[in-house]
Amino acid sequence: MEFPPHFQLIPVSFQALPIPGSVVEHANTYGNSLWGRTAKIVCRTPENKTVAYFHKAIRHERSALMIEADFESLNALYEVSPSIAPRPYNWGIYRSDPTCHFMLAEFREIGQQPPEPVLFTQRIAELHRNSISPTGKFGFHMKTMAGPIQQHNDGWSDSWEEIFANFLGHLLDLDGERNEPWPEFEHIKYLTKVRIIPRLLRPLQSNGRNIKPCLVHGDLWDGNTATDMETGEPFIFDPKSFYAHNEYEIGDWRAPRHRLSSKIYVRQYQRNFPVSEPEEDWDARNLLYSLTYNTSAAILYPAMKQRDAIHEGMKDLCFRFCREELLARLHGDTVPKQVEEVEDDFYEQEEVEEEE
């Protein structure tokens, strides 16, 4: 991926700098980005003070969407918890290259990744607990981006089930378009959509139970977390935020590829934010939530072979909650009538109890 040749010298237009009259002294590559280039910019203010900024540039046919989504997500996090998210200042188009977009934000020196679990999980729980959806609903005011993938987590709904079903359903359909046909995968995907999602998410908001729409980072893995070298506080970056069930955040911690997958992070988080009821569904919900992260990885990085992990995850859930229907579909049989009746009875009972 090529960038303007003057990137090291003049990485942004002067109009983008937060303090008018500042002069860029130098810019050095800092950190890593899979889809762009990141740098630390050192400026001299009119008061002769040295100020550093974080700069991210992306050249891609969807760079405007990617940068704007990054900016809006980071801004939402910063407004709730300035200590945990760097302040975003500006985003726009490279003056000399209209195919390249940039974002300018507060610079923080990256230390330990991921941060130690106790303070880190405390701060994440505080973010979830203190956030207030602007509409009181789940969703976000725009589609966020996983790399160049536009995520369907936007819109607003009182139903977490509706927002999540649209989100995961879109990713699973996109996976089907990008990868080779796999009939068994399609069967299990269908059951996940029509059986598993309602079975696990509808009870969260029925029988007198409710959950709060919480602002989540949306992609909280090792590389998007760090300890601030100056303050010692944990901070997070490169978000894909929206208002979700708080437990969605730690769905990504299930993957063994992450150091955050250590059980100590999950246990510490749950000490700060108790498990939602029905508590006995927690592990299954966590597995369900992990599917969005794994599906994005399967689409973006086929070499990681995450499609097998998605298949096994969905299959596990189907064995737990609709085993007979799964086996019938895998063998090409019709769905046993008694299975359909049991499922229909479950949903009808949920609706009756909710009305009461």
- Tell me the per-residue pLDDT of 71-105, one tens digit each, with 9 for 90 and over: 999 999 999 999 999 999 999 988 777 788 999 99
Question: Whole-angstrom Cα distance, residue 54 to residue 72?
Answer: 16
Tokens 């969005």 label which residue?
292
Percent of the chain with pLDDT over 90: 72
> What are the tokens at 167?
């989100």
Q: Calculate mean pLDDT across residues 333-346.
A: 43
> What are the tokens at 148?
């160049």
- Summarised one tens digit per residue, pLDDT across range 251-265 is 999 988 888 888 999
Q: Calculate mean pLDDT across residues 307-319.
A: 95
**Radius of gyration in angstroms for the set of CA atoms belonging to the chain, rounded to a whole number:** 22
285: pLDDT strictly greater than 70: yes
Confidence tier at 345 by pLDDT (50, 70, 90) = very low
Number of C-beta neighbours around residue 130 at 10 A = 11
Tokens 């899979």 label which residue?
34
Confidence tier at 58 by pLDDT (50, 70, 90) = very high
What's this model's pTM, rounded to 2 decimal places? 0.89
Task: Identify the pLDDT of residue 280.
Answer: 98
> What are the tokens at 16?
């983008």
Task: Identify the pLDDT of residue 332.
Answer: 62
55: pLDDT strictly greater than 70: yes
Question: Whole-angstrom Cα distance, residue 350 to residue 322?
Answer: 17
Structural domains present in the chain:
23-107 (3.30.200.20), 111-331 (3.90.1200.10)
Average pLDDT, the chain: 88
> What are the tokens at 283?
């592990």
Q: Alpha helix (H) ranges present in 21-159?
A: 63-80, 117-130
Task: Identify the pLDDT of residue 14.
Answer: 55
- Summarised one tens digit per residue, pLDDT across range 95-150 is 777 788 999 999 999 999 999 999 999 999 999 999 999 999 999 999 999 999 99
Task: Identify the pLDDT of residue 203.
Answer: 98
Task: Identify the pLDDT of residue 333.
Answer: 52
- Summarised one tens digit per residue, pLDDT across range 16-45 is 789 988 988 888 888 877 778 899 999 999
Residue 17, SS3?
Answer: coil
C-alpha dist (Å) from residue 258 to 86, 223, 301: 23, 9, 16
Q: Over 229-284, what HEC string results?
A: CCCCCEEECCCCCEEECHHHHHHHHHCCCCHHHCHHHHHHHHHHCCCCCCHHHHHH
Confidence tier at 302 by pLDDT (50, 70, 90) = confident
